[in-house]
């Protein structure tokens, strides 16, 4: 019985390793402007540490215009933009508006953390 479990576990580990390798071989998604994505979707959804870090970044970089429920810029918790569509605006800004580009100022990781913060229930 013990041997059986060991074999099962070992094959499970092999499977997991195989999946990780398959993911690593996926070509990175590249935008027309040459931007190479690190993540195709939010890697931090529901991650409490990332949400806390996202809140910190939001306070210091976005709050001045977006506040808690919108001010100069809209309420980002109500944005219809999801995932990469949301981040694209953060990366490139929106030309002709006051929304600045954050590429080179924030890492993609930090942007996903801000996104996670905005996705999570608002702090009371």
Answer left, alpha or beta for residue 122, where phi above 0 means left and psi between -120 and 50 means alpha.
Answer: beta
Task: Please say which residue, 20 or 72, places its beta carbon nearer to ligand HEC.
Answer: 72
Q: Which is nearer to ligand HEC, 90 or 120 (CB)?
A: 90
- Told to check if 112 binds ligand HEC by CB under 6 A, we report no
Q: Of residues 42-81, which lie at the interface with ligand HEC (CB under 6 A)?
A: 61-62, 64-66, 72-74, 76, 79-81
44, 102, 112, 117: which one contacts ligand HEC (CB under 6 A)? 102
CB of residue 62 to ligand HEC, shortest distance in Å: 3
Radius of gyration over every alpha carbon of the chain, rounded to an integer in angstroms: 19
| In contact, 86 and 115? CB cutoff 8 Å | yes
CB-based burial of residue 41 (10 Å sphere; 0-12 exposed, 13-18 middle, 19+ buried)? exposed
Single residue of 29, 59, 82, 94 touching ligand HEC by CB under 6 A: 94
Pick the piece of the chain touching ligand HEC (CB under 6 A) from 2-10, 19-27, 44-52, 94-102.
94-102
Q: Is 73 exposed, middle or buried (0-12, 13-18, 19+ CB in 10 A)?
A: middle
Minimum distance between the CB of residue 25 and ligand HEC, rounded to whole angstroms?
Answer: 31
18 backbone φψ class: left, alpha, beta (φ>0; ψ -120 to 50):
alpha
């Amino acid at each position: 019985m013990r041997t059986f479990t060991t074999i099962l576990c070992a094959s499970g580990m092999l499977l997991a390793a195989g999946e990780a390798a398959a993911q690593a071989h996926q070509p990175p998604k590249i935008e027309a402007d040459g931007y190479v994505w690190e993540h195709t979707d939010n890697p931090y959804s529901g991650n409490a540490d990332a949400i806390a870090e996202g809140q910190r970044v939001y306070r210091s970089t976005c709050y001045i215009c977006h506040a808690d429920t919108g001010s100069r810029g809209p309420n980002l918790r109500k944005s219809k933009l999801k995932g990469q569509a949301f981040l694209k605006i953060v990366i490139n800004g929106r030309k002709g508006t006051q929304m600045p580009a954050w590429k080179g100022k924030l890492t993609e990781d930090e942007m996903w953390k801000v996104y996670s913060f905005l996705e999570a229930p608002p702090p009371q």
